[in-house]
Structure 1
Amino acid sequence: MVRAIDLHNHYYPENYLETLDASDSAYSIATDEAGRDVIVSDGSRVVTLTPPMTDLNVRLDDMADAGIDHQMLSVSIPNVDFLDGDAALELARTSNDAYARIQSDYDEFSGLACVPLRTPELAVEEARRAINDLGLKGINIGSNVNDTPLSHDRYRPFFEAVDELDVPLYIHPMPPANVDSMQEYRLAPLVGFENDLTMAITRLVFDGVLEEYDLDIHMSHLGGSVPFLFERLNNGYRAYPECRENIPEKPEQYLRDIYYDTVSFHQPALQCTIDSVGADQLLLGSDYPHVIGDVHRAKTDIENLGLSDEDQRKIMHENATELYDL
């Protein structure tokens, strides 16, 4: 049986949810119509808190049932940037300490650090501590920072630090700036998150961040719609002078170096991404235990693509092992 490493799944460490609920931010804990605890933002549901979000024993049982050997744990929305300054730093530190303990105690888990990116100098401080002192495997940030694009100049020192640390930078969706228009049908997680990922990586390319720094970017959710837009972005580079101001190469050259996890559950989309960047750039992901994730299909969807054994091994575990030094 092919080994499987799930690089996109979520776990809220001890004290995280209590801190969120007690904060003066837009986020709090509520109960839905089915009696489940949920994270809400200004009254709108953001995350359904299923038991494996906080219970490692339930998680281990589900992993065994699905044939997943190892998971890279990361905080989900809203990460730590619903707080600011020292409060965000303290939550990042306690969360990262918890991940480090889990990583030390369990062969089945590794952890990604969260950092208080609203205050870039504190994010640099915590990134260095989490990687150099705690031994976490990479850094987890959102696709925007309270509506500010990641490519804003204020975050350049952070990207410089990540470049120096030489660890992967995992980019996960955050609610987009116009999220209020997406409340019906829960369009924020269905469409808005994907749009925000697409905007984030496109801005990182055109604003020259990926030209200036040598970053190992791990984009969640197949990069939103990026694999479908390669040639349109190339056409923009050819047609519009401003698209050439910060980068000497076509966008495609940068997009091919990014890693994309397989959270999609739509085989034509998976195939398009493989055709666009190759199996070397794909990473297995499940979005477990979100209610719209699936730890079982994460693996079976790759198995059913008809790939060579070599490409299947790359996506299932080899790329993850090399990228994250597992």
Structure 2
Amino acid sequence: MSIETIDVHAHAIVPEVEAAVAGQPGLDAYRALDRVRNGAESQAVSRDMVARRAAQLTDLDRRLTDMDRAGIDVQVVSPSPSQYHYWADRTLAEIVTASANRGIAALVAEEPSRLVGLGLVALQHPEDMVRALNDAVVTCGLAGVEISSFAPGVELSDVRLEPFWARAAELGAVVFLHPFGCSLDERLDRFYLSNTVGQPVENAVALSHIIFAGVLDRHPTLKLIAAHGGGYLPTYVGRSDHAWAVRPEARRCVDRPSSYLPRVTFDSLVHGPAALRTLIDAVGPDSVVLGSDYPFDMGTVDPVAEVRAAALSERTTLSVLGDNAARLGLSPISRGADS
């Protein structure tokens, strides 16, 4: 059976964002914190890795060639998480989000039959998030926005985000949860623990804030996608269920936390067929979509093969490779792009 294969987790660098933040007050302090969180060795390796992938992050022809090689029909492109810049003040943050939204929209416009875009909002300024969401979706025609797991002083359970969640649900906009950085800081500054451990931790913490705070109760149609298979939460959610049952302060959502997992969508980037089968068992076959983390080294160059290696049923395989993403509105066909 033929299916449109949709990779929901791929990145680009928007040069205008880098130009906007260059030399700005706060950038040096942000970089210093990044050094603490990642450690000097991992920072050096990451710099070299990103430099080698510069063409993949900026050049459309290279992107399309790589997509063809991997058997990807459609890529959902979001800014590199390094471009969140949650340290920026309100004025600079507006420039960052507007630049990111227009940069991704321009990339999609070059190949609208194969690319779908996600923009940015400034999580550190909740009062401006609806404006930035409208800019991304209504003005720039993007499918939604990408956010991290937290910003300084802002968790995803923060009541100040309520207008954002409501507007995202109203628009049918995808909110792509992709952590960048980890609040465990220097405890993860060696062996690349900042990523291998930090990213799954951040996904689990962020999703737990959303679930326990009742965000999905109040906004049941919210289209939320969690990168990296949702981290540790889907496969250890029984502990959350137990807390919900025995701890009154954990009972702020209507139902057991595990009952919300099928309402969230998770990408397939869990690195291993057994892990993918376990994720699907936990959240259901209709709640997993294809993800590669293109073009970074913690992603995969052959995401389709990794899904097929899990030996799922044909129906589940097709759901993960494209059908589930299409139902979220992430197919150019459903979005009205020219074929």
- TM-score scaled to structure 2, two decimals? 0.87
1:172 aligns with 2:215: no
**Aligned-pair CA distance for 1:28:** 9.6
The alpha carbon displacement at 1:80 in A equals 3.7
Identify the residue that residue 96 of structure 1 maps to in structure 2: 101
Unaligned 5+ segments in structure 2 are: 332-339
Matching residue within 281, 305, 318 for 1:275: 281
SS in 2 for 1:185: coil
**2:12 maps to which residue?**
11
In structure 1, the partner of 2:336 is none
Contact 1:147 1:176 in 2 (8 A): no
**Who is 2:240 aligned against?**
233
In 2, the alpha carbon distance for the partners of 1:310 and 1:304 equals 15
* 1:63 alignment partner in structure 2: 67
From the superposition, tell whether residues 140 and 231 of structure 1 become closer, same or farther in structure 2 (CA, over 3 Å). Answer: same
Check whether the contact 2:6–2:321 (CA below 8 A) recurs between aligned residues.
Answer: yes
Mapped partners of 1:29, 1:141: distance in 2: 17
Aligned 1:232-311 pairs, distance under 5 A: 232-244=239-251, 246-296=252-302, 298-311=303-316
Give the equivalent residue in structure 1 for 2:328. 323
- Matched-pair contact (CA < 8 Å) for 1:8–1:261: yes
Q: Distance in 2 between matches of 1:92 and 1:295?
A: 29
Asked if the contact 1:3–1:313 (Cα under 8 Å) also holds between the matched residues in 2, the reply is no
SS class of match (1:228): coil
Match of 1:126 among 121, 129, 132: 132
Q: 1:41 to 1:87 in 2, by over 3 A?
A: farther
Checking the alignment, whether the CA contact within 8 Å between 1:84 and 1:116 is kept in structure 2 is: no
Contact 2:149 2:203 in 1 (8 A): yes
Distance in 2 between residues matched to 1:120 and 1:158, nearest whole Å = 8
Q: Which residue number corresponds to residue 33 of structure 1?
A: none
Q: Secondary structure at the match of 1:227?
A: coil
- Is 1:217 matched up with 2:221? no
Q: Give the distance between the partners of 1:95 and 1:64, measured in 2 at CA.
A: 26
Matched, 1:87 2:92: yes
- Structure holding more strand per residue: 1
Take 2:30 and 2:249, find their aligned partners in 1: how far apart are those partners?
44
Q: Is the 8 A contact 1:175 1:192 kept in 2?
A: yes
Give the secondary-structure state (helix, strand or coil) at the position aligned to 1:292: coil
State the superposition RMSD in angstroms.
2.2
- Residue 3 of structure 1 and its aligned partner are, at CA, apart by 3.3
Give, in angstroms, the shift of residue 257 of structure 1. Answer: 1.1
SS state at 1:256 partner: helix
Determine which of 157, 161, 164 is the counterpart of 1:158. 164
Letter of the aligned partner of 1:239 in structure 2? V
Structure with the bigger percentage of helix: 2
Q: Deviations over 1:165-209 (max 9, x none)?
A: 221211001212222221111211111111011001011111122
Within a 5 Å distance, the mapping from 1:167-206 to structure 2 comes to 167-206=173-212
Q: Do the aligned partners of residues 115 and 266 (structure 1) sit closer, same or farther apart at CA in structure 2, a change above 3 Å counting?
A: same
**Structure with bigger RCO (C-alpha 8 Å, 6+ apart):** 2
- Mind listing any 5+ residue stretches in structure 1 that lack a counterpart? 31-39
